[in-house]
Chains A and B, each alone.
Chain A
Amino acid sequence: MIYSDKVMDHFNNPRNVGVIEDADGVGEVGNPTCGDIMKITIKVDDNDTITDVKFQTLGCGAAIATSSMVTELCKGMKIQDAVKISKQEVAEELDGLPAPKMHCSVLATDGLKVAIDDYLKKHGREPLAGEIKSADPNFDPHADEDDAHHDDED
């Protein structure tokens, strides 16, 4: 199992680490038992554009790198586009992820989706992402395992 240079770059120099104190939306996914936890905070302007984003992650190299990549991808995007960022897109931007690590990129995109819905709910608007499994404190990543392996074969 070998990480690409791009994964190692984002792991060694993660972009946008931290917490936005007066965030418009907050998303937290994963739990300590499964080993990966990600928290993402976003600022959104009146045109629904993500103007700032920061993350904190407890997890492996892939978890940190995918979190970092998601923050880079979504900054400057409309929330309607950002909510559609897929785990495949994140993995591709990182020049690929080893098969057993694909579930890490799910966590990163899930975190962003939860933050976007949090923003929408605070403004009395309809959520875009809906139910996110990994936001459940009893989230079981094993449920995703087969799925993750299929992705790598694409």
Chain B
Amino acid sequence: MTRYLDYSATTPVDERVLEAMMPYFTQEFGNANSLYSLGRDAFRTLEAARESIAKNIGAEKPSEVIFTSGGTESDNAALIGVLNKIAPEGGAHIISSAYEHHAILEPLAWLEKHGYEVTLVKPHTDGHVYAEDIEAAMKPNTKLVTVMHANNEIGAVNDIKAIAEVAHKHGALMHTDAVQSIGKVPFNAAEMGIDLASFSSHKIYGPKGIGALYMKAGTRFDPIIKGGGQEKRRRSGTQNVAGAVGFARALEIMMEEFDTENARLAALRDSAIEQITARLENTEASINSGDRLPNIAPLLIKGVEGESMLLQLDNLGFAVSTGSACSSGSLEPSHVLLSIGVPQEVAHGSLRISVGRHTTQQDIDDLVEALVPIVERLRAMSPVYTRMFCS
């Protein structure tokens, strides 16, 4: 039996979500753009899903929600779609942070190659991006600011409202990647004053392959996916009605269970951090205070290599994640940990435990029992552990 503790990577589809989706595969399969009743019914279902999502993210109008294939597409569309429209010849400046997801960093690198200027602001060692640092990076030609709402490796939650105020004060648009935060911390697009936001369904017990881009009414945009003009010409392609229904239902459940579930997850997170740091010397949480997600325990286990820990935990049936270089296929450890000032040799020992709907206290207790001897064994096998930490 696998004990799944990697809910920030993905989540299982909730049974209630699956049930809501089922009719739309084989029976109510119509194309939402067809004029006959099967198509019109699909259209109504799609619009009901849009309305539900709009309400739960604090959009003022359902039409501000555009369905996409997921978080990565939403991020690409937000950055490239907006800049292509407002500065088609390049020359505009974009501010972001150094610990964004690659779905932001890679489109930014592409934009940089195509005549745009990019500044990546460093987060502080407390894990947060500060509005004053964004302000200090402003230039007369800054057109867009994009900062993630919650970081996927360390769980830090940023004050997007404050950053949006700075962006708007300087005439720039504000985008946030809310893939990790939605349903776990309060999110209201209108109150936060943002222009664009990215969401994904599979992080909240919905199906993979569907997400959304929030785009405030009136935002100038050139679609990156061109074709039949669906989604009010902002994202072509036949809409994924079953996916939209699943995503909407998944978000509804997150909101219905918001208070009780997030308090329960935060207690599990804290239990994991407390037990592991108490039982193992030279371990700490990379961030352990301030505004953060209830479900990520970001640990640094010094003097071991993350992939070794991950594989040995997997042998015992525990699925966790690491930001070590060796797990990613690159030689650099996590850019997130390095950006908040974690030294390279410590970043190699990162362990991300992310809890979710099916995690119990027993799972956390069992994980700790499994992890302690694994770390002790790996440290005993290390030629440098004593030299590095016990002198």
Contact = CB atoms under 8 A, between A and B. Distances in A.
Contacts of A12: 312, 315
Contact of A62 (B303, B326, B388): B326
Nearest to B346: A32
Contacts of B308: 11, 59-61, 64
Interface string A43-69: 000000000000011111111100000
A78 to B, nearest CB: 26
A141 interface: yes
A1 to B, nearest CB: 6
A87 interface: no
Contacts of A20: none
Given A12-B315, A142-B331, A35 B348 contact: yes
Contacts of B330: 100
Contacts of A14: 381
Contacts of B326: 35-36, 59-63, 101
B15 interface: no
B319 to A, nearest CB: 15
A57 B377 CA distance: 11
Contact of A1 (B329, B348, B381, B385): B329
Contacts of B329: 1, 98, 100
Nearest to B385: A58
Interface string A69-95: 000000000000000000000000000
Contacts of B125: none
A58 B311 contact: no
Contacts of A56: 381-383
A33 B331 contact: no
Contacts of A61: 307-308, 311, 326
B316 to A, nearest CB: 11
B324 interface: yes
B382 A58 contact: yes
Interface residues of A, number: 31
A64 B331 contact: no
Most buried by B among A14, A32, A33, A35: A35
Interface in B307-342: 307-308, 311-312, 315, 324-327, 329-331, 333
A34 interface: yes
Chain A facing B: main interface SS: mixed
A35 B381 contact: no
B305 A17 contact: no
Contact of A17 (B315, B381, B388): B381
A65 B355 CA distance: 31
Contacts of A38: 383
Give the interface residue-count category, chain B: 20 to 34
B118 interface: no
Chain B facing A: main interface SS: helix
Given A63-B305, A98-B329, A145-B331, A37 B383 contact: yes
A101 to B, nearest CB: 8
B344 A36 contact: no
A103 interface: yes
A117 interface: no
B267 interface: no
A60 B326 CA distance: 6
Interface in B324-375: 324-327, 329-331, 333, 344-345, 348
B303 A35 contact: no
Nearest to B307: A60
B190 to A, nearest CB: 43
Nearest to A38: B383
Nearest to B348: A35
Nearest to B322: A60
A113 interface: no
A28 interface: yes
Contact of B383 (A33, A57, A100, A142): A57
A32 B305 contact: no
Contacts of B305: 35-36, 58-60, 63
A36 to B, nearest CB: 7
B280 to A, nearest CB: 16
A63 B378 CA distance: 12
Contacts of B383: 28, 37-39, 56-58
Nearest to B312: A12
Contacts of A58: 303-305, 378, 381-385
17 contacts: A8-B311, A14-B381, A17-B381, A28-B383, A32-B384, A36-B305, A37-B383, A56-B382, A56-B383, A57-B382, A57-B383, A58-B385, A60-B306, A60-B308, A60-B326, A60-B327, A100-B330
- A-B interface, 3 closest residue pairs, ranked by CB to CB distance from nearest: A60-B326, A39-B383, A32-B345
Interface of A: 1, 8, 11-12, 14, 17, 28, 32-39, 56-64, 98, 100-101, 103, 141-142, 145
